[in-house]
Structure 1
Amino acid sequence: MSTQFEELDYRPTPLGALSLRRRHEPKVGRDILEIKLGDEYLMSSLFTASEEALARLALADLDGSGFDVVVGGLGLGYTARAVLENANVDSLVVVELMDAVAEWHEQGLLPLGPELTGDPRCRFVRGDFFALAATAKGFVAEHNGRRYDAVLVDIDHAPDFWLAEENGTFYSEEGLRKIAAVLRPGGVFGLWSNDRPDGAFVSLLSSVFEKARAEPVTFPNPLQDNREATQTVYLAQTASDE
């Protein structure tokens, strides 16, 4: 029988206490994993539909093959795994600020860890995604000047609800132009949000990218008697060469 609650790891960080915990959720009859930062829930294995949709929707907008992809935010690994499920992906760089989160995967403490670390296309980079994005030079030292087919971000709660105040610059026109600059022609920027679609943010994306849209992702929430919950994937694409 599963224990009702188990804290698997706990780390103090500059942003607050980071914890990984496993608990039994009677409403679904199974154990779930959760990552918390202080009192904020960063990720739960109970809700993964929109994290996976972030990767699948973004990559579906690309033409060709041999894709180079960046994911900002590792979490429990569901976005990264969905990227790697696409046979057209040649490389994946996952940028993660928290050393502990990458270590949980590397040590096999998280279920998707062996799959991600065992895929030669996948590379973890310890670093601040937003600081690296601000340089517009790439996300790995030897990638200086490299452009990517897709940059996908699942870090903050929403475009206007950030884990850290300094992240806000990324969601400005200037910040988005820097992301557009590291994308290849026809490249896709994807962003996860815990909130419903925000028309103002789509308009901002449209002022920077050739195309932009918001895709609602709706799923039943077992913690609320399976009432529908809606999160959002924002997608924006640079102009192609054609």
Structure 2
Amino acid sequence: MSARFEEIDWQQTAMGDLSLRRRVEPSLGVEVFEVKLGDEYLMSSLFTVAEEELAALGLAASVGEEAASLDVLVGGLGLGYTAIAALRDPRVRALTVIDTMPAVIAWHEAGLLPVSTSLTTDARTSLVLDDFFALMRRPPGDDDARWDAILLDVDHSPRHQLDPSHADLYTVPGLQALARHLVDGGVFALWSDDPPDEEFLATMERVFVDPVAHIVDFANPITGGTSSNTVYVARSRVA
């Protein structure tokens, strides 16, 4: 195996072969961690700006003003950059991160990724093996948590899902089901690899208050230009 490339882990999953790789990017001379699902690149440590902005923009919209007052749910652990960015907000009292793949949680528990140790040693953090989409479909019981913010980064976009079973979340009934897991005025924020989708914004507006699509630009060291992602942010209605 070349010293410039290492496959750290490879596992079969219900959605395809999952692999964690570490390599040196020759054009930059930096170490890069990448996750692939089948033939698709899911994430790279070269591009984390929008994942971190998902947390920053989502929590900036939260009405919580007191220290240690926010309970936050992150859907999708990945390389951990959204979660670690959420922990930088001093208002966060508890951070629950849900991922459906045991391997991803195991990577962080073993300290394999750049932010793993900071994430797993923070007493506010809980890593939970579960299906985020199934959880959102289930009506919360009287004793279930309701979140001040839900930050979601799993699918490529509302139109391009990793698994067809996720598609219902991006409909009016699916978003209404998700909103039941938020406190009144709680925030839902969503990462997307696609440009702002006016049709999806209109769908969000039927459920949430004042949805906004933020365009997040970031330098692309591979192309030498600028790339963009989208972060949708909206608040649940107050009863």
Q: TM-score normalized by structure 1?
A: 0.94
| 1:82 corresponds to 2:85 | yes
- 1:176 Cα deviation after fit: 0.2
Tell me how large the CA RMSD over aligned residues is: 1.4
- Paired residue total: 235
Please say if 1:52 is aligned against 2:52: yes
Q: Match of 1:229?
A: 227
Q: Distance in 2 between matches of 1:137 and 1:43?
A: 31
Separation of aligned partners in 2, 1:84 and 1:136? 27
> Counterparts of 2:27 and 2:48 in 1: how far apart (Å)?
17
Give the Cα–Cα distance (whole angstroms) in 2 for the partners of residues 236 and 122 of structure 1: 24
Matching residue's letter, 1:103: A
CA contact (8 A) 1:69 1:148 kept: yes
1:42 to 2:42 alignment: yes
Q: Structure 1 CA distance, aligned partners of 2:179 and 2:205?
A: 12
Q: Confirm or deny: 8 A CA contact 1:159 1:201 kept in the other structure.
A: yes
Q: Which 4+ runs in 1 deviate beyond 2 A? A: 143-146
Please give the alpha-carbon distance, in whole angstroms, between the structure 2 residues aligned to 1:223 and 1:82: 24
User: Given the alignment, which residue of 45, 70, 77 partners 1:67?
Assistant: 70
Aligned to 2:210: 211
Query: Following superposition of structure 1 onto structure 2, how do residues 18-33 of structure 1 map, counting pairs within 5 Å?
Result: 18-33=18-33
Paired residues of 1:211 and 1:238 also in contact (CA < 8 A) = no
Give the Cα separation in 1 of the matches to 2:234 and 2:139: 17
1:168 equivalent in alignment to 2:167: yes
Percent of aligned positions with the same letter in both sequences? Answer: 47
Q: Give 1:232 deviation, angstroms.
A: 0.3
Please tell me the residue identity of whatever aligns with 1:50.
Answer: A
Which whole-Å CA distance do the structure 1 matches of 2:209 and 2:111 have between them? 41
Could you say what secondary structure the match of 1:114 adopts?
Answer: helix
Give me the whole-angstrom Cα distance separating, in 2, the residues matched to 1:233 and 1:8: 30
Distance in structure 1 (CA, Å) of the matches to 2:139 and 2:81: 26
2:109 to 95, 106, 110: 106
Cα distance in structure 2, aligned partners of 1:3 and 1:197: 40
Q: CA deviation at 1:240?
A: 4.3
Aligned to 1:130: 133
Deviation at 1:203, TM superposition (A): 0.9
Aligned pairs (5 A) from 1:181-192: 181-192=180-191
- What is the CA distance between 1:152 and its match in structure 2? 0.6
Paired with 1:28 and 1:53, the residues of 2 have a C-alpha distance of 24
Q: Deviation digits for residues 10-31 of structure 1, max 9, x if unmatched?
A: 1111111100000111222201
Structure 1 residue 239: Cα displacement: 2.9
2:118 to 91, 115, 126: 115
Cα distance in structure 2, aligned partners of 1:172 and 1:197 = 16
AA partner of residue 58 (structure 2): A
* Counterparts of 2:75 and 2:147, CA distance in 1: 13
Shift of 1:145: 3.3
- TM superposition shift of 1:227: 1.3
Name whichever of 109-118 and 51-60 sits farther off: 109-118
Q: Which runs of 5+ in 2 are unaligned?
A: none
Give the structure 1 partner of residue 195 of structure 2.
Answer: 196
Superposed CA deviations along residues 161-193 of structure 1, whole A, max 9, x for unmatched, are 000011101111001001111111211000000
TM-score normalised by the chain length of structure 2:
0.95
Q: Secondary structure at 1:110's aligned position in 2?
A: coil
Q: Which amino acid aligns with 1:55?
A: A
CA distance in 2, matches of 1:201, 1:48: 24
